């Protein structure tokens, strides 16, 4: 979740009107973005949220924060009780922990994300965010939400107004991840990153519950060979047309 969507009252906050009473409003416009690791969906989601003044939730952070809490407790990410306990302890502060980006946390998050009880626990938080996007900086009530992950268009928000499936070749995604890690000063060997990524893709795609998949009504954007600006333009056009169709 971006810092803007995560102020003071946390990600479950509901907008209030000037008089302090709960505001009555129509169902928020939801943009669901799914795709594999390092496909560019995170950057795209952040930029789209900014462009359309929507709240943003990076749902991967919920799984990563759960994983970090489990690892910090010395527990096994494959242990359902430990993983559910971790999911219940997520706080806005945990979602901002810099250790969430480590490869060890990524690996553990993909292991515990296959557990149905963990997914059920995190589903409620994500649906609540979609139904009540938190107020943005400057107390602006967002007119919608952008949520990115693996199962947003298929399970979390099957009624989303726009569904995008963002993908790229494994080689391109591994290259991007290596660059990102090196920019952060972390050591990264291309072959290792590619192997870990393929392993995580397989676990995410083959799990029984809510596997990584494009919803039948999603628009697929293959970002191989495209830069972030080109992807942003394509996605912005799709959203602008959907907003016009919804007369928003
Ligand atoms: O998107 P990110 O790489 O941060 O996600 C970390 C892991 O969390 C993924 O590999 C996946 O196993 C899990 N995840 C998920 N469903 C989501 C978002 C993330 O299973 N909606």
Q: What is the mean pLDDT of each run of 10 residues along the chain (248 residues)?
A: 36 44 71 96 96 96 98 98 98 93 93 97 97 84 93 98 97 94 89 93 94 97 94 98 90
pLDDT in the model for residue 68: 98
> Domain residues of the chain, as ranges?
3-236
Q: What is the pLDDT of residue 248?
A: 76
pLDDT reported for residue 6: 36
Ligand 1 geometric centre to CA of 237 (Å): 26
DSSP designation for 161: S
pLDDT at 136: 81
Record the pTM: 0.88
Chain position carrying tokens 């669901």 = 32
C-beta separation of 180 from 173 below 8 A:
no
CA 88, 89, 92, 95 torsion-angle sign: negative
DSSP-assigned letter for residue 155:
I
Closest atom of ligand 1 relative to the 41 alpha carbon: 1
**CB count, 10 Å around CB of 141?**
18
Q: Measured in angstroms, how far is the CA atom of residue 7 from the centroid of ligand 1? A: 23
3-236, superfamily in CATH? P-loop containing nucleotide triphosphate hydrolases (3.40.50.300)
**167 in ligand 1 pocket by Cβ < 6 Å?**
no
Ligand 1 pocket, residue 200 CB under 6 Å: yes
Cα–Cα dist 247/56, whole Å: 22
pLDDT of residue 143: 85
Dist CA 159 CA 145 (whole Å): 13
């Amino acid at each position: 979740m971006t810092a803007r969507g995560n102020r003071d009252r946390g990600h479950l906050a509901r907008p209030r009107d000037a008089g302090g009473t709960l505001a009555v409003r129509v169902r928020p416009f939801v943009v669901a973005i799914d795709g594999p690791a390092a496909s560019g969906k995170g950057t795209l989601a952040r930029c789209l949220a900014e462009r359309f003044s929507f709240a943003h939730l990076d749902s991967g952070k919920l799984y990563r924060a759960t994983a970090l809490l489990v690892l910090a407790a010395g527990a096994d990410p494959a242990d359902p009780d430990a993983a559910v306990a971790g999911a219940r302890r997520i706080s806005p502060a945990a979602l901002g922990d810099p250790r969430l980006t480590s490869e060890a946390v990524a690996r553990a998050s993909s292991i515990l994300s296959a557990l149905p009880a963990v997914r059920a626990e995190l589903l409620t938080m994500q649906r609540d965010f979609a139904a009540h996007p938190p107020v943005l900086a400057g107390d602006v009530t967002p007119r919608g939400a952008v949520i990115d992950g693996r199962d947003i268009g298929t399970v979390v928000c099957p009624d989303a107004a726009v569904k995008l499936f963002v993908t790229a070749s494994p080689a391109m995604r591994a290259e991007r991840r290596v660059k990102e890690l090196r920019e952060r000063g972390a050591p990264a060997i291309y072959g290792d990153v590619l192997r870990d990524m393929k392993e995580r893709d397989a676990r995410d795609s083959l799990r029984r519950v809510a596997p990584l998949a494009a919803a039948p009504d999603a628009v697929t954007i293959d970002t191989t060979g495209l830069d972030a600006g080109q992807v942003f333009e394509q996605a912005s056009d799709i959203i602008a047309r959907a907003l016009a169709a919804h007369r928003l």
